[in-house]
Every structure is written in C-alpha cells, then in structure tokens.
C-alpha cells in the first residue's frame, strides 16, 4: 500500500515537474501542439522510473496470486509441500535484489522500451486532451471551475488509457514473462502476434473497463490537486500600488545609473503639460520610497522579483508552481528581472528628468 502511494506521488512529481518546466521554456506555450510535445517529454522522463517500478509491482503481485492458488490447491490436497514458493519475495526491495541477482541489472529494465512506447503517446494525449477540454469548457473570462478541472482531468486520463491500452497489455505480458529465466515471448512484436493469434483481437482491450473506471477518478483528483496547488503557490495580493516601479528603481541602483547614462535625446520627453502634471503627482511616492531604509528597499525589491517570477506562470495548468518561492533566486528570477527592465528604465528616465527639473 505504501509503495504505490509513494510511487504515484513520485511519478506525478516527475510528470508535472517536467511538463511544467517545458511549458515555461517552450516557444508558444499556449498552443496545443506545445502541450502535446511537453506531455511527450514528461511521459518519456517518467517512463524511465515507471518501467522498473511496474516490473517489480507485476512480479510481486503475480507471485501473490500464484501463492494464493497454490495455497488453496495444497489445502484441498491436504499437503503443504507446494507452499514453500510463496515467500519468494518478502518486499519490493527484496524483489529488486532478486531480479538483479538472477537477471542482472538489465533485468530491471525489462519492458523499458514498450513502456516508452506506451507513455509517450499516453502523456501527450493526456495533456493535449486536458488542455483542449479545459479550454473548451472554460467560462467567458477564461477561468476554469473546479468541476471543469475534475471533468477534464477524468476524461483526459480515461482517453489516454483508451488509446494506449493495447500497448499496455503487451507491456504487462512482457514484464510478467521471464520469471525464473523462462521467457515465453521473444519481444514486443512476438508477444503481440502470439497474444492475438491465440486469444483473438479482443485480448487487446481485455480489462479496459476497469482501467477506465480507475483512470477517471484518479486523474480527476490528480489534476484538481495540481491545479489547486499551483493556485495556492501563485496567489499573491494584487499589486494595487501603481507607483511600484518607482520603488523598483529606488531599490535598484544599477538600473538608475544605467538609465542616467542614456543620452538625453533618447529619454522620454515630458514637455507636454499633462506629462508634467502626472510626473509631479508621483512626487509623494518618490519621497516616501526614498525615506525607506535600505534594508526595507532590498526586501521589497526581492519581493518584487519573486512576485514577478510567480506571475510568469499562468492559470493554465502545466506551469510549475513556484515551489521555491521563498528562495526565489537563480536564473528564473534573473530572466524575469531582465524582462522588467523596460518598465524600470522608463521609470528611471522619468526620475532622471524629474531630478534635473527639481
Ligand atoms: N496511458 C497513460 N500512460 N496515460 C497517462 C495517465 C497516467 C496517469 N498517471 C494514470 O495512471 O492514469
């Protein structure tokens, strides 16, 4: 029970982490094609860990099933001799150890390729369909209600399983195969061919219903939790101070110095009377900000950068929540800060002109 739970959390952290970061850095992040591509990369990344995890799960579960069968048979036969095989894996770790000793390290990656074949289309269709549905069902102002998140998440999960289910069937068979060194299948194509030939095409979708029934609530919950987590991390008080940029410049000496170095002809012209009036109206804010201690200014500056970085993420799912918001350093904050230079420079020029006049 605890290993699947930890496993799901870990895998979802990879999926949404990779997808979110990809979306953040990709050109045109809002296009559905980008969502699909980022989903594919996320699917690929998580398949590296899910394949060995699913292998162990399959082996441990199959062993339990075999054990139950053996036990009831032996009970009927009033013999306990066959029960000895039951405890071949005492835990998932024990299973890993035994796979490595009997099949080598490569044994842990049995089914890796087919997992990639399943998860690349699986996760690209997952994110594509979620984005498509949540956008189609969004309200006029673009907001997405919790009901829409749940429904889109549920359908996205079910849809992704619907189209990848036959691949999943092959994956499960390949991973279950080869216990104790006996392999029934020679590879993906052979497994697919023999399964269809011996059991009919229906084998490709056997058990689909229960998978879909599982996928709907699981993925509705997943998207809801991810969306609400992102929201919680992104929720910042609205910046109602229209003169914030003044404090920004005051807290950033460098920008001021650079702005002051810009030759006068390039600076904003404030000759029209209205501009002067608005420039002078800034004065109380400038004075107040100048009065603040240097420490306060530095704090405020840091805060602005954090907020700026967080604002980069949008409500659209897939932007990583600023989990490290408290730290808020590093290249992202820097890139974001650079993007704001325009604003700061404009404000700095205004300040510069003002100071000449005063
Ligand atoms: N076919 C896929 N791999 N689809 C992606 C959905 C994954 C999701 N974590 C689930 O288990 O339902």
Please name the residues in contact with 112: beta carbons below 8 A apart, sequence gap of 6 or more: 47, 48, 51, 52
Q: Count CB-CB contacts under 10 A for residue 98.
A: 18
What's the pLDDT at 299?
64
- 234 band by pLDDT with thresholds 50, 70 and 90: confident
Give yes or no for a contact between 340 and 153, defined as CB atoms under 8 angstroms apart.
no
Helix (H, G, I), strand (E, B) or coil at 20: helix
Structure tokens at 108: 């842990």
Distance separating alpha carbons of residues 65 and 63, to the nearest angstrom: 5
Give yes or no for a contact between 170 and 216, defined as CB atoms under 8 angstroms apart.
no
The per-residue pLDDT for range 117-162, each reduced to its tens digit, is 999 999 999 999 999 999 999 999 889 999 999 999 999 999 999 9
The per-residue pLDDT for range 269-310, each reduced to its tens digit, is 444 444 444 445 555 555 555 555 455 655 665 555 445 444
* The residue count for the chain: 358
* Ligand 1 atom nearest residue 215's Cα: 12
> Quick check: CB of 195 below 6 Å from ligand 1?
no
Structure tokens at 141: 């102002």
What's the pLDDT at 102?
87
From 16, 117, 124, 157, mutation site for ligand 1 pocket: most ligand atoms within 8 A of C-beta: 157
* Ligand 1 atom nearest residue 163's Cα: 1
> Quick check: CB of 129 below 6 Å from ligand 1?
no
205, 211, 206, 178: which is closest to 111 by C-alpha?
178
Q: Which residue do the tokens 């499960």 mark? A: 172
- Helix, strand and coil content of the chain, in percent to the nearest 5, comes to 80, 0, 20
Q: DSSP letter for 265, please.
A: G
> Quick check: CB of 227 below 6 Å from ligand 1?
no
C-alpha 203 to ligand 1 mean position (Å): 20
Distance separating alpha carbons of residues 222 and 211, to the nearest angstrom: 16
Q: Which residue do the tokens 């109206």 mark? A: 281
The per-residue pLDDT for range 23-80, each reduced to its tens digit, is 999 999 889 999 999 999 999 999 999 999 999 999 998 875 555 444 444 444 444 4
> Quick check: CB of 124 below 6 Å from ligand 1?
no
φ/ψ (deg, to 5) at 357: -65, -40
C-alpha 49 to ligand 1 mean position (Å): 14
> Quick check: CB of 166 below 6 Å from ligand 1?
no
Give yes or no for a contact between 311 and 206, defined as CB atoms under 8 angstroms apart.
no
C-alpha 106 to ligand 1 mean position (Å): 25
> Quick check: CB of 219 below 6 Å from ligand 1?
yes
Give yes or no for a contact between 74 and 83, defined as CB atoms under 8 angstroms apart.
yes
Give this prediction's pTM. 0.63
Q: Whose Cα sits closest to atom 2 in ligand 1?
A: 122
Please name the residues in contact with 239: beta carbons below 8 A apart, sequence gap of 6 or more: 307
Distance separating alpha carbons of residues 320 and 322, to the nearest angstrom: 6
Distance separating alpha carbons of residues 154 and 218, to the nearest angstrom: 7
φ/ψ (deg, to 5) at 271: -65, -40
φ/ψ (deg, to 5) at 157: -65, -45
Please name the residues in contact with 355: beta carbons below 8 A apart, sequence gap of 6 or more: none
Distance separating alpha carbons of residues 233 and 134, to the nearest angstrom: 21
Mean pLDDT in residue range 315-344 = 48
Give yes or no for a contact between 128 and 39, defined as CB atoms under 8 angstroms apart.
yes
* Ligand 1 atom nearest residue 219's Cα: 12
């Amino acid at each position: 029970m605890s290993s699947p739970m930890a496993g799901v959390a870990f895998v979802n952290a990879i999926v949404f982490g990779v997808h979110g970061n990809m979306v953040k850095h990709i050109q045109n992040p809002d296009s559905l094609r980008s969502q699909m591509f980022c989903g594919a990369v996320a699917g690929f990344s998580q398949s590296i860990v899910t394949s060995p995890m699913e292998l162990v799960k399959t082996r441990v579960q199959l062993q339990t099933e075999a054990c139950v069968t053996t036990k009831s048979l032996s009970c009927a036969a009033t013999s306990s001799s066959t029960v000895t095989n039951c405890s071949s894996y005492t835990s998932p770790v024990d299973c890993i150890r035994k796979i490595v000793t009997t099949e080598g390290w490569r044994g842990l990656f049995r089914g890796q390729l087919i997992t990639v074949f399943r998860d690349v289309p699986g996760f690209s269709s997952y994110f594509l369909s979620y984005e498509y549905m949540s956008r189609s069902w969004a309200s006029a102002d673009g907001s997405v209600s919790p009901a829409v998140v749940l429904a889109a998440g549920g359908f996205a999960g079910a849809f992704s399983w619907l189209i990848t289910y036959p691949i999943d069937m092959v994956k499960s068979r390949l991973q279950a195969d080869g216990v104790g060194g006996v392999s029934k299948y020679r590879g993906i194509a052979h497994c697919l061919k023999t399964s269809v030939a011996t059991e009919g095409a229906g084998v490709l979708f056997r058990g689909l219903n229960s998978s879909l029934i599982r996928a709907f609530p699981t993925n509705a919950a997943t998207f809801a939790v991810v969306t609400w987590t992102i929201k919680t991390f992104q929720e910042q008080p609205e910046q109602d101070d229209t003169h914030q940029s003044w404090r920004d410049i005051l807290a950033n000496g460098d920008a001021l110095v650079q702005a002051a170095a810009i030759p006068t002809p390039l600076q904003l012209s404030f000759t029209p009377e209205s501009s002067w009036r608005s420039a002078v109206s800034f004065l109380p804010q400038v004075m107040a900000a100048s009065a603040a201690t240097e420490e306060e200014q530095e704090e405020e500056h840091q805060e602005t950068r954090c907020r700026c970085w967080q604002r980069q993420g949008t409500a659209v799912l897939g932007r990583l929540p600023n989990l490290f918001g408290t730290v808020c350093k590093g290249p992202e904050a820097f890139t974001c800060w650079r993007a704001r230079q325009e604003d700061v420079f404009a404000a700095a020029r205004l300040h510069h002109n003002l100071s000449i006049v005063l």
